[in-house]
Structure 1
Amino acid sequence: MGRLTQVTIDFETSHLLFPTIIAIVLGLLGLAIVIRDRGRIAAAGGYWAGIWRDMDKPRFLGAIGLSLLYFSLMVPVGDIWPNTGRGFLYCSIPYVFLTGVLFMHDRSPRSLLPLAIVALAGPIFVWWLFTYPLFLTLP
């Protein structure tokens, strides 16, 4: 009977409880949508073929590639300076700049200057905000 009042927490895995519950709920909801709309999903092949044909493939695939590169490099770069957030900072500056360049129509030096300022100031401000006032470390 005395064990009913004791609580033990496994700190190695306790942080995984809510993400696991949310993933299960989202998976069940997704499965319910697939079951409910299976006819419309099966008939959507022509719709997606038209979307793929008409889309701006270099920008779409470039944004996906830059995002994958950004997220895959952030932790290894951050491991060089652990618990400082510099991985976030040093990866975010080129990511913001290159993504902006990718989506710009006019890439003249005059139009690249504001983008370069934003690419420098934005990540530096976010890094400073999380590091000093909020005392949170970024990767």
Structure 2
Amino acid sequence: MESGLSSLLSVSIDFETSHLYFPRIIHWIMAGLFAVILVTKVAPFLVAVKRGERTLPIVGEPMDGWRFFGTLALIVAYFYLMTVVGDMFPYTGYGFLFVSMAFVLLMSLMYMHEWTKKSLTIVVVNAVVAPSLAWFVLAKLFTITLP
């Protein structure tokens, strides 16, 4: 009787695959939620488009090419320059800090419609304060290594 009870209470873990247990559960939950969204939101929207009650949001609208391609170029430059600048100041997070400041400034200037002294001041202060605060919290308080 003793060996039967001890085998029932013993646990064996396969360490080669045990780390995949929870990600599989999360993947199935996310797939189920995606299916629910498709059924409850996308399908009725497409039916309304087919009946002519609604239109597709992107088709037929003018595109702001300068902002679209400028955003793509800035994102590519941001990730490239973060490692380049980070290699100049290794293990300090200055690559993240300096490049994020420039990125936030340029993105804000690109999407700003009216260039007034007040709005430019707000953009410059935001471009300095927001990345500095994020850098301080991540790099100094939580000691997370940044590029």
TM over 0.5: yes
Name the counterpart of 1:65.
72
Name the counterpart of 2:123.
115
- Which 5+ residue runs of structure 1 have no aligned equivalent? none
Percent of counterpart pairs with the same letter?
A: 22
TM-score (structure 1 length as normaliser): 0.63
Structure 1 residue 119 displacement after superposition: 0.8
Structure 1 residue 126 displacement after superposition: 1.7
Determine if contact 2:67/2:111 at 8 Å carries over to the other structure: no
- Which 5+ residue runs of structure 2 have no aligned equivalent? 1-6
Name the counterpart of 2:33.
29
Structure 1 residue 100 displacement after superposition: 0.9
Q: Secondary structure of 1:90's match? A: helix
Q: Secondary structure of 1:48's match? A: coil
CA 1:97–1:43: 2 relative to 1, 3 Å: same
Structure 1 residue 47 displacement after superposition: 1.5
Residues 1:125 and 2:129 are matched in the alignment: no
CA displacement, residues 71-119 of structure 1 (integer Å, 9 cap, x when unaligned): 6437634762554323321321111101211221122566423322321
RMSD, aligned α-carbons = 4.1
Structure 1 residue 5 displacement after superposition: 4.3
Count of aligned pairs: 136
Determine if contact 2:83/2:95 at 8 Å carries over to the other structure: yes
CA 1:38–1:113: 2 relative to 1, 3 Å: closer
